[in-house]
């Protein structure tokens, strides 16, 4: 990093793009406190009514609760599986290692529409009704690469000789994992969990195929887009959820950076 003065035009450019990036978000926020159900200039007036009406909108809140359930469950599973794969990746050598790693990383590449319809096929064939569970299963698969990456980089960050020392002192390997490795990677696991949570909470492309009769919040939001008069309530909740997600991301970053 240098302290050379930025050319004026470069700074102008940077902050114009920043303004461009924030503009639509600001519009959303204004929309949620706008008296009209359409967003057109000049604004007629500002109100907090939509936030108040939100408290009585049962279906909206149910959808938000569904998303919470799916996100908590799938992020827990993805963190658990991610921890397992990262320990295998960093501490074991075995023949099918590359295969397992490829399998765990590929969901990052496969288009969501392809994975979505493939899972839809699977659940139809084995006669599993679409529900929050099927959405959660899909989210676990796509969140796994993220949790794997976060936890594996933490494992790479400390010396395996600590584990050796524990075992020389008589601990068996499971005890070493439990008492030495897990406490060391715990911050990374929290960060991985939060990241997986936000990935799932926001996810729409897979959930649209797999949600069935229990919509998650993004799916519900999408289904309500046709009804203009309900839009401000939806946006109001979306703004609240957005603030919540942002806070989670910041906490996740904190945990990831700690002692990193």
Site for another protein in 160-199 (CB under 8 A): 160-161, 163-164, 167, 172-174, 177, 198
128 binds another protein (CB under 8 A): no
Binding part of the chain for another protein, among 53-61, 68-76, 183-191, 200-208 by CB under 8 A, reads 200-208
Binding of residue 59 to another protein (CB under 8 A): no
Hey, which residues between 210 and 229 contact another protein (CB under 8 A)?
Answer: 218, 221-222, 225
Size of the site for another protein (CB under 8 A): 89
CB of 125 to another protein, least distance (A): 5
Closest approach of another protein to the CB of residue 84, in Å: 4
Apex CA 148: angle with CA 207 and CA 167, to 5°?
145
Judged by CB under 8 A, the stretch of 53-61, 68-76, 136-144, 184-192 that binds another protein is 136-144
* Cβ 189 to another protein shortest distance, Å: 15
Cβ at position 65, least distance to another protein in Å:
17
- 152 in contact with another protein (CB under 8 A): no
């Amino acid at each position: 990093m240098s302290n050379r003065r930025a050319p004026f035009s470069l700074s102008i450019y940077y902050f114009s793009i920043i303004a461009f990036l924030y503009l639509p978000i600001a519009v959303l926020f204004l929309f949620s406190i706008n008296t009209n159900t359409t967003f057109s200039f000049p604004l007629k007036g500002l109100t907090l009514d939509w936030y108040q009406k939100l408290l009585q909108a049962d279906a909206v809140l149910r959808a938000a609760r569904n998303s919470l359930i799916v996100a908590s469950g799938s992020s827990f599973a993805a963190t658990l599986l991610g921890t397992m794969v990262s320990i295998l990746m960093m501490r074991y050598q075995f023949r099918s290692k590359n295969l397992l790693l490829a399998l765990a990383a590929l969901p990052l590449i496969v288009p969501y529409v392809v994975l979505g319809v493939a899972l839809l096929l699977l659940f139809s064939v084995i006669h599993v009704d679409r529900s929050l569970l099927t959405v959660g299963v899909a989210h676990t698969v796509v969140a796994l690469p993220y949790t794997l990456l976060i936890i594996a980089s933490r494992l790479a960050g400390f010396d395996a000789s600590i584990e050796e020392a524990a075992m020389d002192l008589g601990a068996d390997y499971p005890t070493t994992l439990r008492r030495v490795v897990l406490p060391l990677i715990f911050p990374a696991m929290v960060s991985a969990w939060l990241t997986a949570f936000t990935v799932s909470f926001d996810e729409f492309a897979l959930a649209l195929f797999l949600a069935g009769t229990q919509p998650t919040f993004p799916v519900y939001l999408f289904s309500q887009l046709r009804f203009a008069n309900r839009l401000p309530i939806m946006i109001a909740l979306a703004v609240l959820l957005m603030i919540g997600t942002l806070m989670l991301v910041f906490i996740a970053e904190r945990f990831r950076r700690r002692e990193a």
